[in-house]
Amino acid sequence: MTTTGFEHVELRRGAYADSVALLQVSKDVAAVEGVTAAQVAMATDLNRDVIAQMGFTLPESTPNDMIVAVRLNDESSLPAALEAVDAALTRASRRGDDGASSEIEPPRTTLSAFDRTDAGLALVSVPGASAAVEAADALDAGRDVMIFSDNVPIEHEIALKQLATERGLLVMGPDCGTAVIDGIGLGFANAVRPGPVGIVAASGTGCQQLLCLLDHAGVGISAALGVGGRDLSEAVSALSTREAMRRLDEDASTELIVVVSKPPAAKVAEELREYAATLTTPVQFALLGSGQPDLTSAAEAVLETLGRPVPEWPHHGETAQVDGGRLRGLFVGGTLCDEAMLIAAEAVGDVYSNIPLEPRLELGADRRADGTVMIDFGDDGMTAGRAHPMIDPTLRLEDLARTARDGDASVVLLDVVLGHGAEDDPAGSLAPAISSAVETAKAAGRELAVVVACVGTQDDPQQTGRQAEALAAAGAEVFLSNAQATRRALSLIGAAR
Amino acid sequence: MTSTHRPSDGVVTSGVGLFADALDAQAVAVNRVDWRPPMDGTEDDLAAVATDPLRLDANRRAVEAMTSTQAMVVDVAPASELLGLERGQFLHAGPPLKWENASGPMRGALQGAAALEGLVDDPEDAIALFESGDSVSLEPCHHRSAVGPMAGVVSPSMWMWVLEDQTDGRRTYCTLNEGLGKVLRYGAYSPEVLQRLRWMSDVLGPLLGQAVRATGPIDATGILTQMLQMGDEAHNRNRAGTLMLLRDIAPALAQSGADAKDIAEVFSFVGGNDHFFLNIAMPACKLALDAARGIDGSTMVVAMARNGTEFGIQTAGTGDQWFTGPAQVAEGLYLGDYGPDDANPDIGDSAITETAGIGGFAMATAPAIVRFVGGSVPDALATSRRMREITIGENPRWSIPVLDFMGTPTGIDVSRVCRTGILPQINTGMAGRVAGVGQVGAGLVTPPANIFPAALSALAERTRSRR
């Protein structure tokens, strides 16, 4: 330990600061230029020893004295050093300016959020691998949960739903795009009126189609509970669907339960029908599949059951006439894509897709085939690491432009899904893209027909009427019914039933 | 829809901000989670544990077992009697350790203890003894229901506090605190250190034992409740607790019939050592946490301990298995000329206080401690709140007045540590790296992050094997 240079030791009688504060003071003073060592401490025996070990010579003192001991390169630094001691002592005795207030950090987990509020539901849209963990927090808090996330491993889903079943809670999802509870739209949901129909949906856009058709017919809903696209698979065996049906059965305002799903496992569908028979509330199934009614027919059947008239479904604009050629469907809604494929398959046979009805019809990486093609841009395989196409339309717009350029198809079928959560103004980007596609085809001496299913209500933030008119003005023919739009597209290529 | 809880009461959102915005636009109260990806590679294990049907109830029971434990000081007696510790047997802090891996302060403390027990005359000669391994053995305090601060070395002649859960007779033990500076637990072994230890065995221990037995069981948990309201966090600040203990045993000490000079020495030793109560706080915490051991499916941490080389944790759901990683060097302030190069990595069983929700977790109740890292009062408040993010519950008995009497964050959840990446914050003293030096500073430290995914993986493995 060096003892060269200039030493200064003083006692400050009656001065006091706690030992922690003095450690900081010593540190601050030691950092002053020209200071090689510094110790400011109460003169306890322990501190005296420490300071003596540093090579200082100490005068007599009592434990109530404060010792200031500094070693300097030379005497000229002393005033600066002592000034630093005073400044540091002042700082140490002063309360921080914002001592009493401290900003509360936001919750880092769903459970932490429930510890802080009485919120009634959790909505999870974190990456799929982490979704079950956040959802389990909601179940721990005794709350239902909606999981929008896709790419959730199926074993996570099964374990989570088993846990929820034990606790009488509802897991909506994973991959649940849509729910409406207490009139509140969760995820992608349309603004609809209250009414007698309770919907259980294993399909987000299927649910939205039903909501919008019923709304147009003047019929509202009590609730729309999503269950996730895999709920009616054999592995998951409809755990959430049963819970959702049970909830709606107990709900006095629900007069009719409608179960909507993409093609379910036959065994699960059979068991659900048996379960439905045990409920007090009548249940109507709208299970998409080969030979089964489409969503529009299902909506019409609901209206008939309720004794309500079936209206004309809206239709805007008129598209260019084409003579044959191929049909290419570009969808953001998985169920709308499924429905279109089922309808098209009856007319044209094989439909190629990234979510094909049969494995042999699976599209390659270039997403092209010599025949009818239907692509679901919202499928897990196309959303890993990027936003859903209802939020980010880039990929679909690129495909539309390429189709027009290459002349791959003469008819393009599109869906536009409105409501809470969806793009503010989908027509704002899609209408110019349609005009441009039509122009591109014309410039190459071809005709390109564009048919759109625009699923929305007048109360949606985007207003379905305004969107449909903008698309029609761009040269598209626009329907509310996806089934009608599909049939129109098929008739354009001369393949109508 | 039929449910007691409805989205109209508010919705908790995690993930895509757009859906929270959409709810805002519908005038629904939204509570947004500041979600971030979990520690690398933990997703599957986290999901397995999250969906374990045993977990919720297991963790509830673990916290309940812990917070309902009443720790009573019932006796003070030598380790040889209490633990059956025999000549040549030494206990140490932290997870299991071999001499060849022991750090400077741990070696220094063992050398001093060997001299104290008369195994060698000069502590320097003990090096050869421990190297040979003949007739000496090392074992963690935790394996004998004990805890030890810093090096935590216990040898047969040392007197220990006995804490008891009087509902089931379970006991935990801890040595008597020697004070600060050059002391055995910081690795010092000079003659004055050994002399003090001898006085502690000859005078302090027997008198304390007599006073405790005459006073009757002393409610350590109750003193902890009070001291937390008096500016102590019970790890680096134990002033109020020490004085309350002294208050409780003073009448019996005065009436002990012992030599007045000895009684006066006991008073000034205890009263002059602000950390004296730490050695009661620690076994009180261990007694509570031990009540939560062996609960299948529980992801709660029941011990955090460091041996100067490694940091180890044990959980309620994984038996006696240790999950260990390299101990870190604390960040803080140094005594005298000492600096970061002089400090030994983290050492001691005293992190049992944080495991029980006090110490660094109760930082808000002892704002002075936060200055160890040049922090501020808001930092202290934020720290206690942040620790709540990784704990299962709050302790209803131990509350923090300045946080509107929020209970101390209780029951560290391995899952939540892995999910948030928030590591338990520990207030600690720093021992010199070199044997014999003693204390060089104090500060804040966290466990090595990798031990939490390791514990999680073992928990997930057990979950899967039950399916």
Q: Which of B5, B10, B53 sits opposite A142 (nearest CB)?
A: B5
Determine contact: B23 vs chain A, CB below 8 A: yes
Q: Give chain A positions within 8 Å (CB) of B333.
A: 20, 23-24, 26-27
A166: Cβ contacts below 8 Å, ≥ 6 apart: B53
Q: Nearest-CA distance from B458 to chain A in Å? A: 17
Q: Which CATH class is domain B58-64+293-466?
A: alpha beta
What does pLDDT average to in each consecutive run of 10 residues of chain A (497 residues)? 76 76 84 91 83 88 86 91 88 52 82 95 95 98 95 96 96 95 95 97 93 97 96 97 97 96 91 97 93 95 97 93 90 94 95 95 90 92 76 89 93 96 92 96 94 97 96 97 97 80
Instruction: For chain B, report the end-to-end CA distance as a whole number of angstroms.
Output: 33
Interchain pair B25, A104: CB under 8 A: no
A442: Cβ contacts below 8 Å, ≥ 6 apart: A448
How do residues A43-57 score in pLDDT, each as one tens digit?
Answer: 888 788 888 888 899
> Could you state, in order of their start, the residue ranges of all structural domains in chain B?
1-35, 58-64+293-466, 67-282
Interchain pair B14, A110: CB under 8 A: yes
Query: Looking at the predicted complex, does its ipTM rise above 0.90?
Result: yes
Q: Which of B7, B374, B382 sits opposite A181 (nearest CB)?
A: B7
Q: Nearest-CA distance from A434 to chain B in Å? A: 26
Residue type, B439: Q
Q: What is the DSSP string of B7-33?
A: GGG-EEEEE-HHHHHHHHHTT--EEE-
Q: Quote the pLDDT of residue B391.
A: 98
Sheet holding B331-334, edge to edge: B331-334, B439-445, B426-431
Calpha distance A188→A178 (Å, rounded): 5
Interchain pair B11, A121: CB under 8 A: yes
Q: Give chain B positions within 8 Å (CB) of A39.
A: 336
Calpha distance B224→B359 (Å, rounded): 11
Structural domains of chain A in order of their starting residue, each with its CATH number: 6-93 (3.30.1360), 110-305 (3.40.50.261), 315-492 (3.40.50.261)
Q: Quote the pLDDT of residue B128.
A: 97
DSSP reduced 3-state for A28 = helix
Tokens in use for A112? 């932490």
Q: Which of B12, B26, B36 sits opposite A110 (nearest CB)?
A: B12
Report angle CA A220, A222, A223 to the nearest 5 degrees: 110
Tokens in use for A165? 């079943």
Q: Give chain A positions within 8 Å (CB) of B336.
A: 39, 50-51, 53-54
Interchain pair A112, B389: CB under 8 A: yes
Calpha distance A326→A348 (Å, rounded): 10
User: Given phi > 0 = left and psi -120 to 50 = alpha, else beta, which region is A54?
Assistant: alpha
Determine contact: A129 vs chain B, CB below 8 A: yes
Q: Nearest-CA distance from A24 to chain B in Å? A: 7
Mark which residues 323-362 of A lie under 8 Å from B by CB.
none
Q: Which of A23, A109, A181 sits opposite B389 (nearest CB)?
A: A109
Q: Which of B303, B306, B268 is nearest to B283 (CA)?
A: B303
How do residues B11-57 score in pLDDT, each as one tens digit?
Answer: 999 998 889 999 999 999 999 999 999 999 999 999 999 999 999 99
Tell me which CATH homologous superfamily contains domain B67-282: Enterococcus faecalis V583 domain (3.90.1710.10)
Q: Which of B5, B28, B47 sits opposite A133 (nearest CB)?
A: B47
Q: Give chain A positions within 8 Å (CB) of B376.
A: 96, 98-99
Q: Give chain B positions within 8 Å (CB) of A223.
A: 1
Determine contact: B12 vs chain A, CB below 8 A: yes
Sheet holding B301-307, edge to edge: B323-326, B310-315, B301-307, B347-348
Determine contact: B9 vs chain A, CB below 8 A: yes
Residue B168: how many other CB atoms lie within 10 Å: 9
Do A412 and A400 contact (CB within 8 A), yes or no?
Answer: yes
Interchain pair A117, B22: CB under 8 A: no
For tokens 């209780």, name the residue: B410
Mark which residues 332-371 of B lie under 8 Å from A by CB.
333-337, 368-369, 371
Residue B278: how many other CB atoms lie within 10 Å: 24
A57: Cα separation from own chain's centroid? 69
Q: Quote the pLDDT of residue A101.
A: 44
Calpha distance B351→B424 (Å, rounded): 10
* Number of residues in chain B: 467
For tokens 């673990």, name the residue: B62
Q: Quote the pLDDT of residue A21.
A: 75
* Number of residues in chain A: 497
Domain B58-64+293-466 and domain B67-282 have a common topology: no
Q: Which residue of A has its CA nearest to B416?
A: A109
Q: Which of A235, A78, A234, A254 is nearest to A244 (CA)?
A: A254
Interchain pair B2, A24: CB under 8 A: no
Please give chain B's pLDDT, 467 residues, in tens: 546 789 999 999 999 888 999 999 999 999 999 999 999 999 999 999 999 999 999 999 999 999 999 999 999 999 999 999 999 999 999 999 999 999 999 999 999 999 999 999 999 999 999 999 989 999 999 999 999 999 999 999 999 999 999 999 999 999 999 998 889 999 999 999 999 999 999 999 999 999 999 999 999 999 999 999 999 999 999 999 999 999 999 999 999 999 999 999 999 999 999 999 999 999 999 999 999 999 999 999 999 999 999 999 999 999 999 999 999 999 888 888 999 999 999 999 999 999 999 999 999 999 877 776 657 888 899 999 999 999 999 999 999 999 999 999 999 999 999 999 999 999 998 999 998 888 898 888 999 999 999 999 999 999 999 98
Q: Give chain A positions within 8 Å (CB) of B22.
A: 185, 420-421
Do A258 and A195 contact (CB within 8 A), yes or no?
Answer: no
Q: Quote the pLDDT of residue B365.
A: 94
B64: Cβ contacts below 8 Å, ≥ 6 apart: none
Quick one: angle between helices A295-305 and A204-216, nearest 10? 50
Handedness of CA B255, B256, B259, B263 (dihedral sign): negative
Please report, for residues A201, B352, B429, the alpha-carbon distance to residue B357 in angstroms, rounded to integers and kept in the order given. Answer: 45, 9, 18
Interchain pair A130, B1: CB under 8 A: no
DSSP reduced 3-state for B367 = helix
